[in-house]
């Protein structure tokens, strides 16, 4: 299939490009290097520097991979996006091109407005490009399990059937986002559902949990194919941060009580979920919602797993509780459903000690690159009002 990946330079975007390319798909990536620019601006480096997209694509081709076309552009610029659509004529577009960080969205007014504009205008532009230029194109949008929050009922897979006063109907499952970033993802879902109803688009919305991991099979060919690996408080996901902290000898930072429960998945499983969504498209006029995670853990459980895995290879690390910079329930019920991707054939990779020691060994190879000062939380959800 002809696949266009928006946000193709990202932690998920580049591995997805290689994964689908290696499986026979005709892949084009588009990116505006937002993440690289912000990491430079905030002085939060990647653990390992990565070549630019043109260099990565050339290396992938030289090592025997299929051709990956590269276009540098911004989804909030409709002319750039529509020109890419005309050139590539995609049968499916994977939408990763959003500001992906909850802490970044809560840093201040500038970051909040950027998050709103980038995420919502980008999604609206995508909808219009598909409708105007290729209405049968399948949109695969990366949502987040964080859209749901932590309700005191089971989290259904996107939809819920409600009986009320003797009548029944089916609605999108209620959302209660925990950050501005997550709020924009809720608005994305609403926007897509509106245009599915109005224009008969075909959309798959993948409600993804936090991703961990470094390796995919394609990356093992050359270190320069490794994806961006953030460990800072802005872009670093919790388990990736814990791995780096363990190697650096920094106590694992558990926010609050540490009993917050979320659904997690390995980077490898993310790629397989995307492949399954691409190769089994939603029908016209359908918003298909899939909960994309493989296991649930509390933050305390993750921390203890890292401590144990680190000890098995001679690394001793402790755990420290920090005042939670976020506004969230720290102890709560959490039971989300996850059937659709399993029904399509997903075979999950569990979080084993072997997976953790592999990540620890990778980070150990680059231990001299770790900047410990970027790890500890500085961004707070409840900002103190400035006095004038």
Q: Which residues are catalytic?
A: 144, 181, 185
147, two tokens: 């859209």
- Cα distances from 71 to residues 48, 75, 218, in angstroms, run 23, 11, 21
- Cα distances from 135 to residues 129, 131, 234, 293, 296, in angstroms, run 8, 4, 36, 30, 37
């Amino acid at each position: 299939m002809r696949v266009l990946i928006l946000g193709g330079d990202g932690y998920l975007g580049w591995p997805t490009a290689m994964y689908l390319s290696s499986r026979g798909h005709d892949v084009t990536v588009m990116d505006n290097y937002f993440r690289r620019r912000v990491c430079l601006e905030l002085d939060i480096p990647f653990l390992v520097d990565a070549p630019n997209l043109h260099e990565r694509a050339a290396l992938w081709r030289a090592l025997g991979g299929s051709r990956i076309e590269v276009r540098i552009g911004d989804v909030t610029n409709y002319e750039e996006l529509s020109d890419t659509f005309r050139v590539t004529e995609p049968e499916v577009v994977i939408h990763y091109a959003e500001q992906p960080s909850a802490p970044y969205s809560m840093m201040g007014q500038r970051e909040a407005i950027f998050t709103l504009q980038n995420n919502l205008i980008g999604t609206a532009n995508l909808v219009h490009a598909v409708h105007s230029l290729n209405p049968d194109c399948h949109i695969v949008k990366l949502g987040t399990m964080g859209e749901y929050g932590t309700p005191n009922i089971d989290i259904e897979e996107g939809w819920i059937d409600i009986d009320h006063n003797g009548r029944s109907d089916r609605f999108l499952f209620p959302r209660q986002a925990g950050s501005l970033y997550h709020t924009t993802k809720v608005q994305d879902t609403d926007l897509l559902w509106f245009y599915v109803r109005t224009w008969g688009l075909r959309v798959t919305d993948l409600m993804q949990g936090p991703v961990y991991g470094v390796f995919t099979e394609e990356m093992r060919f050359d270190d320069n194919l490794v994806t961006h690996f953030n460990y800072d408080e802005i872009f670093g996901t919790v388990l990736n941060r814990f791995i780096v902290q363990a190697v650096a000898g920094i106590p694992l930072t558990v926010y609050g009580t540490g009993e917050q429960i979320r659904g997690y998945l390995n980077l490898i499983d993310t790629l397989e979920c995307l492949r399954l969504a691409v190769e089994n498209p939603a029908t016209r006029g359908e918003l298909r919602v899939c909960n994309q995670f493989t296991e649930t853990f509390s933050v305390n459980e993750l921390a203890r797993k890292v401590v144990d895995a680190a000890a098995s290879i001679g690394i001793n690390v402790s755990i420290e509780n920090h005042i939670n910079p976020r506004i969230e329930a720290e102890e709560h019920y959490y039971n989300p459903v996850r059937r659709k991707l399993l029904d399509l054939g997903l075979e999950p990779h569990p979080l084993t000690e072997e997976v953790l020691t592999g990540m620890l060994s990778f980070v150990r190879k680059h231990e001299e690159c770790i900047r410990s000062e970027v790890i500890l939380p500085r961004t707070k959800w409840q900002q103190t009002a400035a006095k004038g």
